[in-house]
Structure 1
Amino acid sequence: MKVKKRRKLLLAVVIGVIILVAAIPPIVLAVSKAFTAQESVVRTDWEIETGDIIGQDEQWQVEYAEAELGDGLRAIQLIPEDIGEEGFTYYDLEVQRRLEGALESMKATNDMTWTATTPLAVLNPYGTGSNGLYLYFETDVPTKVSYNIHVAVDGISDFTADAADASGEEYSKIHEFQIIGLVPGETNEVTLTMTGSWGNVRQIVRFTVDMPENRSDYDTRLEVTQGTSDQAQAEGLFTMMRVNGYLGYGFFFDNDGVMRYEMVLEGFGLDRILFEDGEMLTCVSSSKLARINGLGQVTGVYPLDGYELHHDIGFGADGEVLALAEHAEGETVEDQLLSIDLESGEVTNLLDFSQLMQPYFDQTRPVSPTDDFFWQAGEWDWIHLNSLLYLPEEDSLIVSSRETSTIIKVTDLHGDAAVDWLAGDARFWQDTEYADLCLTQEGDFVPQYGQHCVEYLRDGEEDGIYYLALYNNNYWSLNSRDFEMSVADSVGVDLYGDGSERSQVYIYRIDENQRTFALEQSFDVPYSSIVSNGSLCGDNWVVNSGVAMVFGEYDADGTLIREYAYECTMQNYRTFKYEMTDLWFQ
């Protein structure tokens, strides 16, 4: 009797194990999909805290509320009456038109004279930057406006800038601009200085702003570590892009690691900011690009119906932006190139890499739950394009493919597109139809693996020679093809590593005449198996190691000037440094 019970118990255990094993793939798939799906989530809650409602503009369907900025400055907030309705977004040109109309009504108020001492002040007028403060006033003579922001907290240096006026003029009698740099959660002492064209100071105005906490609740001060280089840091603001755990925001930090601007998006995160005619162009959700001026006003919206963005955007031919994307319901992921016409808004699928490189695509398979990138289980991530670079003179495209650890050049992009060359470990391509297209490695060095953010650095000494910069993750992992290849001991093979691995910034010399590539310069940076970038800013390098959760500024030789540690869930995608001139600053 006991033997039968034991047999039944053993049978039940075996059946249970079988059921559990069978359930693991669906569980892994469900968890992985939930993790990756967060990038497609669109913000549904736009409502903000304000003071009392003090008025209403029925024509523009906007309410005026007091902005709770303390007693030093009387400011308002513009609240669209439909802000709580389903489907509302600030990234809607009709909403932006109404906000502009309400703002114009305030500027034209008959019984008010807006001066530097009594300016029209509006907190975050267009809903795109939580701590941006709009000012409008007139002066008797043409002047330019500079401002200084002082916060009486150790470790926060004064922030000084020349305001970029909405008129585009350096000197004006009518002033309309956005103060950038007010630190969330702190009392900010602001000094406005109006200077005439002969350099004489015409007026100085001071006021305080008790800035509310930032909307994301992200740290407003990063941990800063001083490096060994005494090189001066480049001008500009570090721009953290797609911070996991804080998607739907873009964060801008100064050289002291102090948050100076919090950009509020629909979702997803910034991939890159493009600048044109005094405006920025960037992604504001996984399926939408937007053009935004220096006041925070959205002046153009480009929905990508049926597609989802990932990893990079860049200027293409005249009037065109190129974007890496994927079909929202497609079989494959991260293998499409879109063309967006900035005038018409028309979106064209310019290049499907699964067709362009079909002979190789046919050798691949979807990611499985037992692969390194198990969170992508079920996705056919066979090439994983993560950066693009357009060469207008020859209508060519250079893309970075993380999955193949290869840089790929495509010629005649807008015509009969074809793969021109591949740069990376040639062994990877030896049993494919692309073996003869591999550039020959010139010199003894370990080629890049899992690289990100390939950028054009400079022209070479003759036509056909040029230099590319990239972040070499130095991480080897293949999740879409049953192929094994040994790599050097210095190359990481674990997502988080054991502490001995290093990533690098690489500078390649590409010689298309001789069909070679060589390592011109490199320097070590903290290890990051995925994401990340190393980008030139002036004479310095700005490097983000996303998995290590640090970014730093390095001198031209690759010696650290300063490093900044930050919090996120698993990774922050990129950190660039932008001067923001002609947009926020003169």
Structure 2
Amino acid sequence: MAFKDGDDMGSNSEGGRLFSRRTALAGAAGVLALAGTGLMGCSAVGAGANDASTASDELTDEQKKLYKQIVATYDVEKQATIKERLDADCAACSYSETAPFVKADPFGTDTLSCYVRFATTDPVTVSYKVAGRKKTGDAPKVAAFSRTPRGGDTPSAEHEFKVIGLIPNHKNTVALTCTAQDGTSRTSTFTIETPALKGEEEEQLAVTAGESNTPLADGLFTILGNDSSKLDFMYLYDNTGQIRGEVPIIGYRSHRLLFPGDGSMIMSVSTTKMAQINAIGQVVNVWSTGDYELHHDYAFDDDGNLLVLASHAGSEADLDIDRAAAKDKGERANVEDLIIKIDVTAGNVSLVVDLGDIFPDLKASAKVASDGDLDWIHINTIQWLGGGTVLLSSRETSTVIKLTDIYGTPTVDWLMGSPDFWAGSGFEDKLLQAQGDFSLNAGQHSVTYLPSTDTATTGRYQVLLYDNNFGAAKSYPKFDWGQLGAAVVTDYSKGTHSFGRIFTVDEAARTYELVDQIAVPFSGYVSSAQRVGDSNSMLVASGRPRPLPSTIAMDFPSPPTRWKPKSTSTACTSTSCSARLRLTS
């Protein structure tokens, strides 16, 4: 089986990709022509192993009740019981296309969905359309929403699928179209009532059109989590800004969406749990990270197992750091310097790489933060290249790292970072040499490996990343990050632009050069950039910019001449700029 991560919607492994990803994604939420994968977080906060006991004190009694239901949602045995009941209900009666079995979100994995099942007398393909809504009072107009469910394009007489895109708090009319093999079709309808949204997100976002002649793909923008002190969800919005999906998670955020190729979707649902949701919405696997906390990226290896960036969450004896500077020595250190593996078959968790073993002197030189954390390297992206090789992004050192043989003897192949920072480290010979005059990447996120057809023979490929363009690290307060270049911001309050950047790496020559970049609203932390499929477009998400969070899509190679952030939307005015939603938080 070929495993591809969401990043492969075509981009980082964030396997795959970054905050938003554009490609045909047939996952647990149905067919998603666009999904978002966001490496949007920097600290591991949220529900841990004892999920039911970690509900925030800020929750109302009703929210606490809902939180317990969400925790129970990610119980595989309970999900299997729900499926058995559905099977029994369907077996008890004969359901046809004109009278299908319909159940609103039976698995609790998407508020705006329903489970549909029926049989036909002949093999047919199936599609559906969710009727729109006229503007009434304060309720805005909503357009119709059409999709072909997973498997719906293959003729069959047995049909079981998930309808997505329902309008919240509304009696939805859904039209089913069955097309026979001779090309004739027939349509029937059913109605299904949906509840109000469970979270506090907006039902409708503002959209500002750009000037590009390239139309948007008919997909969904996915917001991977809201890091709320209350309840957490993953949201899906269509191109008009209408919400089409609300996926409850236990806490934190779903950093990346991975797709094994069987119609299921794998994502994080808390700081200590990964879950697999199949195409009908059933949670079929949940893996615990045990004594580790996930820190915001993961990818498949060649065997389909999960490589997860993590921090120690177990015994303080495991931490191996000097905590003398900590104000509260009882606090857990969140070092974000590990790669663990989850065996998806056995569920076993094992430590693969401890970056402290590779860079011990660097770790020893780092300053412990006042809260007791030693965030000395802060790995925020992992990209699987195959054969035991990975690309990592280290925010704290403003360096992209290539490691080989991670399952054997992990070895640094190259570093893309500042020679000044790495001077005297013993790794000077691993530095790629920058070709040309440009400021170096500073605090970057979401590194994506983009090989070409001749990469295997030439050793040349491209690396796409979100360059936060913010030179700062609490672990190394004495280093002058202004040495990274004149464009690098060292005072957060003065930041104006971050960048989506593409570099060409030549491993034979041990060099790299900047081949393209687009200036985007400043975001000193988090954020991501990804190429849209195999196109010349880049989708960029600014997670903590000034003045507000935004998502902007741009076409290479011409950067926009200007951009104008607005209070409710993002305008990107250029012949090379496409319209996208502003995703505010």
In the superposition, the TM-score normalised over structure 1's length comes to: 0.78
Structure 1 residues 86 and 534: alpha-carbon distance in aligned structure 2, compared to 1, 3 A threshold: closer
Unpaired stretches in structure 1, ≥5 consecutive residues? 1-34, 48-81, 369-376, 569-586
Of the three residues 436, 440, 459, the one matched with 2:429 is 436
Of the three residues 500, 517, 520, the one matched with 2:512 is 517
Shift of 1:171: 1.3
Which residue pairs with 1:501 in the alignment? 496
Say if 1:267 and 1:285, in contact at 8 Å, map to a contact too: yes
Say if 1:408 and 1:419, in contact at 8 Å, map to a contact too: yes
Of the three residues 216, 220, 237, the one matched with 2:220 is 237
Say if 1:503 and 1:528, in contact at 8 Å, map to a contact too: yes
Which residue pairs with 2:79 in the alignment? 96
Unpaired stretches in structure 2, ≥5 consecutive residues? 1-42, 56-64, 320-332, 560-575
Which residue pairs with 2:206 in the alignment? 223
CA distance in 2, matches of 1:509, 1:323: 26
Of the three residues 65, 78, 97, the one matched with 1:116 is 97
Structure 1 residues 173 and 298: alpha-carbon distance in aligned structure 2, compared to 1, 3 A threshold: same
Which residue pairs with 1:562 in the alignment? 579
Which residue pairs with 1:529 in the alignment? 524
Shift of 1:562: 1.5
Structure 1 residues 86 and 452: alpha-carbon distance in aligned structure 2, compared to 1, 3 A threshold: closer
Which residue pairs with 2:288 in the alignment? 303
Structure 1 residues 275 and 446: alpha-carbon distance in aligned structure 2, compared to 1, 3 A threshold: same
Shift of 1:534: 0.7
Structure 1 residues 241 and 42: alpha-carbon distance in aligned structure 2, compared to 1, 3 A threshold: farther
Structure 1 residues 561 and 343: alpha-carbon distance in aligned structure 2, compared to 1, 3 A threshold: same
Of the three residues 258, 267, 279, the one matched with 2:264 is 279
Structure 1 residues 84 and 457: alpha-carbon distance in aligned structure 2, compared to 1, 3 A threshold: closer
Indicate yes or no: 2:439 matched with 1:446.
yes
Say if 1:536 and 1:542, in contact at 8 Å, map to a contact too: yes
The SS at the match of 1:170 is coil
Shift of 1:482: 3.7
Structure 1 residues 46 and 149: alpha-carbon distance in aligned structure 2, compared to 1, 3 A threshold: farther
Indicate yes or no: 2:188 matched with 1:205.
yes
CA distance in 2, matches of 1:107, 1:186: 25
Q: Following superposition of structure 1 onto structure 2, how do residues 71-470 of structure 1 map, counting pairs within 5 Å?
A: 89-109=72-92, 112-152=93-133, 153=135, 156-165=142-151, 170-201=154-185, 203-245=186-228, 248-276=232-260, 277-329=262-314, 330=319, 331-368=333-370, 377-392=371-386, 394-459=387-452, 462-470=457-465
Name the aligned partner's letter for residue 382 of structure 2. Answer: L
Indicate yes or no: 2:545 matched with 1:545.
no
Q: CA offsets, 1:175-211, max 9 Å, x none?
A: 110001112234533221111123221x211244443
CA distance in 2, matches of 1:150, 1:235: 17
Which residue pairs with 1:582 in the alignment? none
Larger relative contact order (CA 8 Å, sep ≥ 6): 2
CA distance in 1, matches of 2:67, 2:529: 41
Shift of 1:134: 0.5
CA distance in 2, matches of 1:36, 1:310: 6
Say if 2:79 and 2:283, in contact at 8 Å, map to a contact too: yes
Shift of 1:93: 1.6
CA distance in 1, matches of 2:217, 2:166: 21
Name the aligned partner's letter for residue 581 of structure 2. Answer: Y
Say if 1:44 and 1:87, in contact at 8 Å, map to a contact too: no
Structure 1 residues 96 and 39: alpha-carbon distance in aligned structure 2, compared to 1, 3 A threshold: closer
Which residue pairs with 1:79 in the alignment? none
Say if 2:44 and 2:295, in contact at 8 Å, map to a contact too: no
Shift of 1:464: 1.4
CA distance in 2, matches of 1:222, 1:45: 34
Which residue pairs with 1:575 in the alignment? none
Shift of 1:367: 1.9
Shift of 1:36: 6.1
Larger Cα Rg: Structure 1 or Structure 2? 1
Name the aligned partner's letter for residue 99 of structure 2. Answer: T
Q: CA offsets, 1:484-529, max 9 Å, x none?
A: 212444322244x34x611111111111111111111111111111
Shift of 1:254: 1.4
- Name the count of aligned residue pairs: 484
Which residue pairs with 1:29 in the alignment? none
Structure 1 residues 432 and 45: alpha-carbon distance in aligned structure 2, compared to 1, 3 A threshold: closer
Shift of 1:45: 9.9
CA distance in 1, matches of 2:119, 2:361: 65
In the superposition, the TM-score normalised over structure 2's length comes to: 0.78
Say if 2:48 and 2:54, in contact at 8 Å, map to a contact too: no
Q: Following superposition of structure 1 onto structure 2, how do residues 26-41 of structure 1 map, counting pairs within 5 Å?
A: 37-38=45-46, 40=48
Shift of 1:332: 4.8
Q: CA offsets, 1:71-96, max 9 Å, x none?
A: xxxxxxxxxxx999799622122111
CA RMSD of aligned residues (A): 2.5
Structure 1 residues 426 and 186: alpha-carbon distance in aligned structure 2, compared to 1, 3 A threshold: farther
Shift of 1:43: 5.6
Shift of 1:159: 1.5
Say if 2:271 and 2:293, in contact at 8 Å, map to a contact too: yes
CA distance in 1, matches of 2:354, 2:67: 39
The SS at the match of 2:373 is coil
Q: Percent identity?
A: 32
The SS at the match of 1:89 is helix
Say if 1:96 and 1:298, in contact at 8 Å, map to a contact too: yes
Name the aligned partner's letter for residue 358 of structure 1. Answer: P
Structure 1 residues 449 and 343: alpha-carbon distance in aligned structure 2, compared to 1, 3 A threshold: same
The SS at the match of 1:205 is strand
Q: CA offsets, 1:124-161, max 9 Å, x none?
A: 11121122110111111111111112322456332211
